[in-house]
Structure 1
Amino acid sequence: MCARGERPAPDDDEDDEELAGFDAAVALFNGGEYHACHDVVEELWYSAEDPARTLLHGVLQCAVGFHHLFNQNHRGAMMELGEGLCKLRRLRLEDDDDDQGPFSRFRDEVAAVLSFLYRTQKELAASMAHRSGNDELCLAMDGSATSYQLLGDFAAGQRLYRQGVDADGVPSILFSGRASGDYLAPPCTVKLPSLHATEQHLTALQRAHEYS
């Protein structure tokens, strides 16, 4: 293991370990083992080259974001998911490309979750601010970086989000917000992102960059 940001000289054995490690990371992410996924992806990220390096960094930050989300750190979740999404968008993945499709679908699912978190946090903040007579704070919730930093302190430490399934049996994130003991609205859901990519997809992404 090397210092953060340093890249050991690659060799064939290391390349094989990296690919196997990526499959392991995907399995951990899809199994909800976000902390363990972070540890595996971080090791891959150290020695990766762009564009795989950027993609791995995005996946790493998303794993951290979901770990925060299900451990009642709402602000941390939104910030990490937002930064991870920015890196995935930077790759300009093509939806109709067989090799890039799994990554673009993952990007879109993360974007949907971030929008869901912002909407539910804003709704909760508006309700609690109104009850406290601080309506001006709600006007700042405009989707900017500043507004993301403001959100999260409302109901901090409460279990607002949990893993479950929706009415169709799809793995989802369930929100049940409370304000002063009262539910804001019936529980609502968004699909829990999953990553259906393999080592072959990661290799194809890298090769497409090398030969473009």
Structure 2
Amino acid sequence: MATTASTMVQNQILIPSRGFLSSHSKPSQSLPFSLPFPLSSRTRTTTSPARRSSPGLRPRRRLTGGIEPLESPETESEQPTFDLAVKLFNGGEFYRCHDVLEEMWYSAEEPIRTLLHGILQCAVGFHHLLNQNHRGAMIQLGEGLCKIKKLEFKEGPFFQFQQEISAALEFVYQTQKELAACNDEYCLTMDGSEKSYQLLGSFGAGQQLYSLNLGSDAKTHILFSAPNHYSSERPSRVKAPILGATEKHLIALRYISKSDGIYASS
């Protein structure tokens, strides 16, 4: 049976995150087309009272790893809201989206807490994908997808987002598998063994293999382009996931009782 990204996630082949948004991982300065929201800067104002240093205050641990300093960077000029996070995600500002969602996550309750964490990890995954960290991208996308699947959405914008994330992860997995399997020197059978999985994300590391591209259909796609990409059987692009939910959809989760393990967010 062919191994897919979904079975990788189900079999827990993905390892835990280890702080992928570290100090050396910064937002890309340019994208192949003009996004509605610029990625080049992170507008800051003064530090919010809730985040300022105070006696006895312990540094809190960031969701993506590492300790957040007591004198944390200034917060965004806009208040952290879900609608802002959606705007940033859909505009390709994944780094800033991560910051907004993380701020919301600290005070959120279940099931919203798990959902925010899942979307946050997807944002981190795409940040890495566009910044040459392909292995980190697959790990974060896989973990984020698992969290969203835990809520068992059957319809609505969150279910649609889950489907699109799954398709994007499968696309990255398949293109990485093809890239790892063949190059100018040899071809390797990707048989699902531990050795073959270790190759995933290593080939092409540090190269800009993925980019965002605005297609003729006015939809944004994730484009894969690599030297000596031999395969012509699979598409070289996939639709970039779009989050169509609003603050109202998020709030509605508080009032939807969990029946048979299903959240129907319509």
TM-score, scaled relative to structure 1: 0.79
Deviations 1:152-191 (A, max 9, x none): 100111111100033423210011122xxx3324671100
Equivalent residue for 2:144, pick from 84, 96, 102:
84
Equivalent residue for 2:93, pick from 21, 33, 38:
33
Q: Identify if the C-alpha distance between structure 1 residues 140 and 151 changes in structure 2 by more than 3 Å, giving closer, same or farther.
A: same
1:140 aligns with 2:140: no
1:106-147, Cα deviation, whole Å (9 max, x unpaired)? 11000000000111111111112xx444625x2236xx8x86
Tell me the matched-pair count: 185
CA contact 1:64–1:80 (8 Å) conserved in 2: yes
* 1:10-61 deviation per Cα after TM superposition (whole angstroms, max 9, x unaligned): xxxxxxxxx9611111111111110000000001001111100000000100
* Aligned equivalent of 2:230: 184
| Greater shift in the superposed pair: 182-191 or 28-37 | 182-191
**Over 4 Å off, 4+ runs:** 146-149
Distance 1:185 1:168 in 2: 24
| Structure 2 match to 1:206 | 254
Match of 1:13 in 2: none
Say if 2:178 and 2:231, in contact at 8 Å, map to a contact too.
no
- Structure 1 residue identity aligned to 2:157: P
CA contact (8 A) 2:80 2:101 kept: no
Cα RMSD (Å): 2.5
Matching residue's letter, 2:158: F
Corresponding residue SS for 1:140? coil
Q: What is the 5 A alignment of 1:45-194?
A: 45-95=105-155, 101-128=156-183, 131-133=184-186, 135=188, 138-140=190-192, 149-178=198-227, 182-185=228-231, 188-194=236-242
SS of residue matched to 1:169: coil
Letter in 2 for 1:135: L
**Identical aligned residues as a percent:** 54
Q: Check whether the contact 2:132–2:207 (CA below 8 A) recurs between aligned residues.
A: yes
Measured in 2, the distance between the counterparts of 1:46 and 1:65 equals 20
Are the equivalent residues in 2 in contact too, given 1:20–1:199 (CA < 8 A)? no
Question: Is the 2:80–2:103 Cα contact (8 Å) retained in structure 1?
Answer: no
Higher helix share: 1
How far apart are the structure 2 equivalents of 1:42 and 1:148?
30
Measured after TM superposition, the shift of residue 207 of structure 1 is 1.4
